[in-house]
Chain A
Amino acid sequence: MPAAPIRRRSLALGLLLTCLPALACAGQSTPQRMPTSTVTAKVDGLSLSDIAWLRRDGFGLDNATLARYRQLGRTRFLDEQLAGGDDTLPPQVAAQIRAFPVVNTPLPELWADFRERQKQYKDTPAGPAKDTAKKALAQYRRGLEQQAAQAELLHAIYGGDQLKEQLVWFWLNHFSVYANKGPVRVFAADYEENVIRPRALGKFKDLVMATLKSPAMLVFLDNVHNVKDKTNENYARELMELHMLGVDSGYTQADVQQLMRVLTGAGIVPPRLAAREGRFARIPPGVVREGLFQFNSRQHDYGDKSFLGQTIKGSGYAEIEQAVDLITQQPACAHFVSQQLAEYFIADKPAPALVDAMAQTFQRTDGDIAQVMRTMLLSKEAAAVGGHKFKDPTRFLVSAMRLTYDGQPIPNAVPLVNWLRQMGEPLYGRITPDGWPLDSASWTGSGQLSKRFDFARVIGSGRNRLFADDSGANAANDPPPGAPDLQGSTLYRDAIAPRLSDATRDALAKAKSPMEWNTFLLSSPDFNYR
């Protein structure tokens, strides 16, 4: 068989892509391969465009979001979010997060406990006691990772500032860490709550510096092992390639090695010192400590470095800030970060003009993330109806939870963590530092779709363990009896029904029970594209 089918396919794909954003297609024929909608008039003050915008701005709609948006209008609503102060959670959910040991225990203590348990296991003599100890250790280790992931998912689902919540996930993924490497699982919750979250809407270089100094990143990308005369270039390379510049932006292998030299000595405080943090702290000159971060001047290469065409004089810790500043000032950095944001929020192939506008804002504002987001979200692309971006599993899960439970707290978030793992996008579970892919095609294989329908059923049926405690019994909180009533909800009436495709309407009409109805809605193209 000749290669013709491949070419045809490429052509069709190309056509589809050139039609993005959807508004650009006005006047041309509708892309044939998307579901067709019966467009109805705007409902209760919200146009289809408002709804499309809100579905990009946040993980998914709930009634509280719609109410606030109606009250403020788009621009004020956006500016309120960009101010970023609001991490409002229902009190019950806030208490739930605070109750996780990984959140409420000081990091040095948590780390010491982790090492102690590892040591105890190692010291246990072989035999049945060791087998028991092995199971206990595995359970403890799993618990750390699971708590961290629960905390982030609860924020994502219940957080009042949905734009910020999406950004927190985006940055966690952009500066991805893998829980299963060394003690990273100990640091994961701190990484989300204290490193990424407070800076998700701040200056990009502050975010980079915070991740650079985080124990999670220092361990994950091996900079703890990057010391004078025994160097390790792993972090230096990924800092440029994945975090700041992108792979074809013109830096060389020599730049990687120079940056590696700049980064020598940036590591974490030795456990012995970490345990008595604050007390007897006599910090030698040239050494910088911040939490568990330590810049050890004795392990630093003080030679001058020639990096990205500039000379960085050997001066110690200040070289690192100088290098990060220098990278941030590269036009490639502004463009790379803007491109990634637009790919995640707007379209697989965002319009170049949009990315350019975002990059200009980035350069004008010294990499102010909130301002870049403002440029993006006030663009026409952000409000285009009929988006072609297929939700990744996290977006699917969080939006399905927001629609189905609409702010009602769940006592047990463990199943969410497991579902996400089964859908192939676990938090802190990406082994490679590139993070989960941002494009639709990575999530639309048949195996993926099959999983998505399965979890639409698990969520939509109400037959799950979100309201059960560890023993399997239902918790005291009133569990919803059976399948939630999505069909009768105002959220469905106001934000979903007006834009349903004919095929989805037909499917819903064939549902024999609320459980089926919910499963079909959550499985539908209408729900899964944005």
Chain B
Amino acid sequence: MNRREFLLAAAGAAAASTLSFSGRLFAAPANTPRFLLVFLRGGYDCNNLLVPYGSDFYYASRPTLAIAKPDANNPDSAVALDANWGLNPVVRDSLYPLWQKKQLAFIPFAGTNDLSRSHFETQDHIERGEPVGVSGNYRSGFLARLSGLLTGVPAIAFTDNLPLSFQGAARDIPNIALKADPKAHFNERQAAILAGMYKGTSLAQASADGLALPQSISKDLRDEMVAASRGAPSAHNFAAETRRIATLMRDQYRLGFVDVGGWDTHVNQGSTKGGLANNLKNLGEGLAAYADALGDAWNDTTVVVLSEFGRTFRENGDRGTDHGHGTVHWVLGGKIAGGQIAGEQMAVTQANLFQNRDYPILNDYRDVLGGMFARLWGLNASQLQTVFPQAKARDLRLV
């Protein structure tokens, strides 16, 4: 599809605000790109998701954590993707089918050059999207800046609090956690009075959105969740959440953010069983459910999964891993050029480790996402500089 078409179409559409106070949400234009960023907070251990099974050094470095080389007789062995890389078998039923349909790609040696090895600093750094060493606007996220450049691309965060990625936008970007069904508690008169108190303050838009969104969403979810909930996922898993997210991303929003925590596995992380495996399984099932629930809209969808950093390549003394550097980012979508390991790569050997400790970074996330955004939304060079200052956008031709 011509990804620039919608810009023209959208330019004519009245989309000043996605929300009208009294009415329902406006629908976003049909057949335009949908983008969801999934942020794994805590630094997930990429080496036990995308297993470099061709590397002897991997097996030498992880005596208790390594995942066995692909072996048809061993259900706990890696699922081969190509001659070098395999998947943790816990995502065999969820992610591997997407890989086979070429709807999933991985970008190893990815991340940011921030070297603090601090979760918080690196997460903030990634969400701000500014180059290392530049402290510009501390409260401006790259998705907020992207959103400011686009028309007809309503944005939303599926989180309890507005993430830094979406902070600092000219308009309020709504946030609503969908771990459970949202409910509306005020009638229209009460909502109008409440919003009236904040009129003319810096929270005017946020309070109006906050009052309107549950009213609108709870109705939509009531109508549509019935259809979407086949397979009846338990309320606690990520799949239940992504199915709700899909309902909104299908009809009303085009730019979304959700985060998943619990990846900081310093101790007893396990390999194909244990804490990390459970998290990966949950994540994989959530993403597969998202693809399923979107239906045809999956074909216009790009999902990027990233994390602030990778972990130490070698396991530590506690059968866990410590804060590292390079990681593996994922790209998913119905029409992406999947089924490949993308981006710059190098052999997984001790000599190639960064600081003899972690994956190096060959694919700066700002360059890669910049290239992707340019293709998705036809952004020009100066617009890309707004989103990612000083980045050298690189098109991996995944979308």
Contacts and interface: CB of A to CB of B under 8 A. Distances in A.
Interface of A: 1, 3, 5-6, 8-10, 13, 16, 32-35, 222, 225, 227, 229-234, 237, 241-242, 247, 253, 390, 424, 431-432, 434, 441-451, 453-454, 457, 501, 503-504, 506-507, 510-511, 516, 519-520, 523-525
B386 A525 contact: no
Given A432-B41, A432-B120, A6 B386 contact: yes
A453 B196 contact: no
Nearest to A33: B202
A507 B196 CA distance: 7
Nearest to B262: A431
Given A9-B168, A445-B161, A247 B121 contact: yes
A431 B123 CA distance: 14
A510 B189 CA distance: 10
Contacts of B161: 424, 442-443, 445, 447-448
Interface stretch (B52-60, B111-119, B221-229): B111-119
B386 A3 contact: yes
Given A13-B139, A449-B206, A449-B210, A222 B266 contact: yes
Contacts of B175: 445-448
Given A3-B148, A231-B317, A232-B317, A10 B137 contact: yes
Main secondary structure of the interface of A (DSSP, over half): helix
Contacts of B170: 5-6, 8-9
A10 B206 contact: no
Contact of B210 (A441, A453, A501): A453
30 contacts: A1-B148, A1-B149, A3-B149, A5-B170, A6-B144, A6-B386, A13-B168, A16-B202, A34-B201, A231-B316, A232-B317, A234-B322, A241-B121, A431-B264, A432-B261, A434-B120, A442-B162, A444-B203, A445-B175, A446-B162, A446-B175, A446-B176, A446-B205, A447-B161, A448-B160, A449-B203, A449-B211, A450-B213, A457-B185, A511-B193
Contacts of B383: 3
B371 interface: no
A434 B194 CA distance: 33
A450 B140 contact: no
Contact of B42 (A431, A441, A506): A431
B12 interface: no
A516 B118 contact: no
B339 interface: no
Q: Which of B41, B177, B190 has the most CB of A within 10 A?
A: B190
A1 B150 CA distance: 7
Given A1-B151, A519-B190, 20 more contacts: A1-B150, A6-B386, A9-B170, A222-B266, A231-B317, A232-B267, A237-B117, A434-B120, A441-B139, A441-B162, A445-B162, A446-B175, A447-B159, A450-B176, A450-B211, A453-B194, A457-B185, A503-B196, A503-B198, A525-B201
Contacts of B185: 453-454, 457
Contacts of A454: 185
Nearest to B211: A450
Contacts of B172: 445-446
B253 to A, nearest CB: 13
A445 B203 CA distance: 8
B101 interface: no
Interface residues of B, number: 66
B326 interface: no
Contacts of B120: 241-242, 247, 432, 434
A527 to B, nearest CB: 10
B314 interface: no
Interface in B113-168: 116-121, 137, 139-140, 144-145, 148-151, 157, 159-162, 167-168
Interface string B229-248: 00000000000000000000
B307 interface: no
A36 to B, nearest CB: 8
Interface in B170-209: 170, 172-177, 185-186, 190, 193-194, 196-203, 205-209
Nearest to B121: A247
B42 A432 contact: yes
B117 A232 contact: no
B196 A3 contact: no
A438 B187 CA distance: 32
B174 A447 contact: yes
Contact of B160 (A227, A241, A432, A447): A447
B93 interface: no
B198 A525 contact: yes
Listed from nearest, the 9 A-B pairs whose CB atoms lie closest are A230-B317, A445-B162, A450-B210, A5-B170, A446-B210, A446-B209, A424-B160, A447-B175, A449-B210
Contacts of A229: 317
B317 A253 contact: no
A5 B386 CA distance: 12
Contacts of A233: 322
B270 interface: no
A20 to B, nearest CB: 13
Interface string B248-276: 00000000000001101011000000000
Contacts of B29: none
Contacts of A230: 316-318
B267 A525 contact: no
B165 to A, nearest CB: 12
Contact of A34 (B137, B174, B202, B205): B202
B266 A232 contact: yes
Interface string B311-329: 0000011100011000000
Q: Which of A390, A442, A450 has the most CB of B within 10 A?
A: A450
B148 A516 contact: no
A395 to B, nearest CB: 15
A454 B186 CA distance: 8
Q: Which of A9, A13, A229, A237 has the most CB of B within 10 A?
A: A9
A507 B194 contact: yes
A33 B207 contact: no
Contact of B174 (A13, A231, A445, A457): A445
A89 to B, nearest CB: 31
A450 B214 contact: yes
